[in-house]
Structure 1
Amino acid sequence: MIAIYALKCPAVMEKELFNRFLQALPEEKRERVHRFRNPADSYRTLLADVLVRSLICEAYEISNDEIKYDYNAYGKPSLKSSFPNFCFNVSHSGEWVVCATHDSQVGIDVEQISPIELDIATHYFAPAEVEDLLAKHPDEQVSYFYDLWTLKESYIKARGMGLSIPLQSFAIRKKRDQSITISQSDSRDAWEFQQYEIDPGYKLSVCATTNQFAAHVVRKDLQDLYQAIFHRKISR
Structure 2
Amino acid sequence: MAGDVWVPAPAGPLALPHDEVHVWRASLRPPPSVLARLEATLSADERARAARFRFDEHRIAFVAGRGVQRGILSRYTGLPPAALAYREGSHGKPELDGASAGAGIRFNVSNSGDFALYALTLRREIGVDLELIKPMPDGIDIAQRFFSAPENEVFAGLGDDVRDLAFFRCWTRKEAYIKAVGEGLSMPLDRFDVAFAPGEPARILRTRGNPAEAERWTMLSLDPGSGYVGALAVEGGDWRPVLFDWDAAG
For the residue of structure 2 that corresponds to 1:54, the secondary structure is: helix
Task: Report Cα offsets for 1:76-101 as digits up to 9, x if no partner.
Answer: 11112643410000111011111000
Give the Cα separation in 2 of the matches to 1:8 and 1:126. Answer: 33
* Residue in structure 2 matching 1:86, options 105, 114, 119: 105
Offset of 1:177 from its aligned partner? 4.2
2:73 aligned to which of 37, 50, 56: 56
Match of 1:47 among 64, 78, 83: 64
Give the drift of 1:17: 4.2
- The aligned counterpart of 1:136 is 158
Q: Calculate the aligned-residue CA RMSD, in Å.
A: 2.1
Q: How does 1:1-236 map to 2 (within 5 A)?
A: 1-10=20-29, 13-14=31-32, 17-80=34-97, 82-103=101-122, 104-116=124-136, 117-118=138-139, 119-174=141-196, 176-186=199-209, 188-189=212-213, 190-211=216-237, 212-214=239-241, 216-221=242-247, 224=250
Deviation at 1:157, TM superposition (A): 0.7
Q: How far apart are 1:148 and its partner, in Å?
A: 0.4
Task: Go from structure 1 to structure 2 and tell me whether the alpha carbon gap of 1:223 and 1:3 turns closer, same or farther (over 3 Å shift).
Answer: closer
CA deviations on 1:124-181 (whole Å, 9 max, x unpaired) are 1111111111111211011000000000110111111210111121111235442523
The Cα offsets for residues 2-48 of structure 1, whole Å up to 9 and x where unpaired, read as 111101232x742x543432231112221222222233322222222
Could you say which residue in structure 2 is the equivalent of 1:233? none
Give the TM-score normalised by structure 2: 0.81
* Counterpart contact for 1:4–1:99, Cα < 8 Å: yes
- Measured in 2, the distance between the counterparts of 1:87 and 1:144 equals 29
Distance 1:165 1:24, change over 3 A: same
**May I ask how many residue pairs the two structures share in their alignment?**
221
Runs (4+) of structure 1 exceeding 6 A deviation are: none
> Any idea what the Cα deviations from partners look like across 1:174-214, whole Å, max 9, x if unmatched?
35442523311355541111012121201110001123131
Name the % identity: 24
